[in-house]
A and B are shown apart, each in its own frame.
Chain A
Amino acid sequence: MSYTGNMALFSTVGQATTSALVFAVTAASLALAVVNVLVFRTQARKYRELLRGFGDENAEGRPGRILIPLYVASTLVAAFVTVWLYVADPHVL
């Protein structure tokens, strides 16, 4: 495996378009992950309030306590790997 670092990401129109698409999709994915986590936490809070309304505050633990860290971590790792593979072009294959 050799590292030849392809830094001519915008050298041609095709290359520039591909670069823009890759970076845009990665950025959109990170943003979507943030939105999903915020929406989930809002709905989980509504759910806990519903249970408190029945007088039972301990009926349910924290939903998503494993899923959210897993989701965030996998999104960050995938984004890093995607961008690194594209920018560094390590010729792994």
Chain B
Amino acid sequence: MNASPDHGERLVFITDEHWIKFVVPVTVEILLFGTSMLLFAFAGLSAHHSAWLSRMSLVTAALVFWISHHWFFMHLLSESLDRIIITNRRLLRLRYRLLFDEDILEISFEKMKTVDAVKEGLLQNILRYGTLVFESKLAAVKLVKHPNRVARIIQESMAAE
């Protein structure tokens, strides 16, 4: 996957994925944070009534809080590195997951000659994001911002080569 500017490859366009991908993690984090705060409050309220219940609640609250806190920020940091890179010869979709996964999708314009921009449903059309589909679903890149514009850039790069 080495870049080859000496062989005429150059960067044409770079973008990140649509912000809609953050909605679910933020919602889950809010729910888990609220749960941990309720458990902390319960630990405090039950301290004089039942020591073991209070301790259990405290430890559970701490575990829920810390797990959700780290999961949330690991998710945000991972998503912040995701990029879609278009050169004059290929498209690269970079996806990193801290400590767990690294995925690089490479679509060469020598092998893929057609690209479609697809926006399905009300949400994608209102928020202007969608999927780039290559060669009738042989490869697809999701969560692309302004997919029609990106598809046009790719088509121009394909035609130029």
A contact set with B: CB distance below 8 Å:
14-15, 17-18, 21-22, 25-26, 28-29, 32-33, 35-36, 39-40, 43-44, 47, 50-51, 53-56, 59-60, 63-64, 67-68, 70-71, 74-75, 78, 82, 85-86, 91-93
Contact = CB atoms under 8 A, between A and B. Distances in A.
Interface string B46-70: 0100011001001100110110011
B59 A18 contact: yes
Contacts of A85: 40
A40 B98 contact: yes
Contact of B69 (A15, A63, A64, A75): A75
A54 B9 CA distance: 7
Contacts of A39: 98-99
Contacts of A54: 3, 5, 9-11, 85, 87
Contacts of B81: 40, 43-44, 47, 63-64
B32 interface: no
Contact of A63 (B9, B10, B80): B80
Contacts, number: 103
A32 B63 CA distance: 14
A18 B55 contact: yes
Interface in B65-89: 65-66, 69-70, 73-74, 76-77, 80-81, 83, 85, 87
Nearest to A51: B11
A56 B69 contact: no
B140 interface: no
A27 B14 CA distance: 39
Contact of B80 (A35, A56, A64, A91): A64
A18 B61 CA distance: 12
The size bracket of the interface on B is 35 or more
B68 to A, nearest CB: 11
Nearest to B73: A71
A89 to B, nearest CB: 8
B66 A29 contact: yes
Given A18-B55, A55-B10, A40 B66 contact: no
Nearest to B56: A18
A56 B11 contact: yes
B136 interface: no
A92 B44 contact: yes
26 contacts: A14-B52, A15-B55, A17-B55, A18-B55, A18-B58, A21-B59, A22-B62, A25-B62, A26-B62, A29-B69, A32-B70, A36-B73, A43-B81, A43-B98, A54-B85, A54-B87, A55-B10, A55-B11, A56-B10, A60-B83, A63-B81, A64-B80, A67-B73, A67-B80, A74-B69, A91-B44
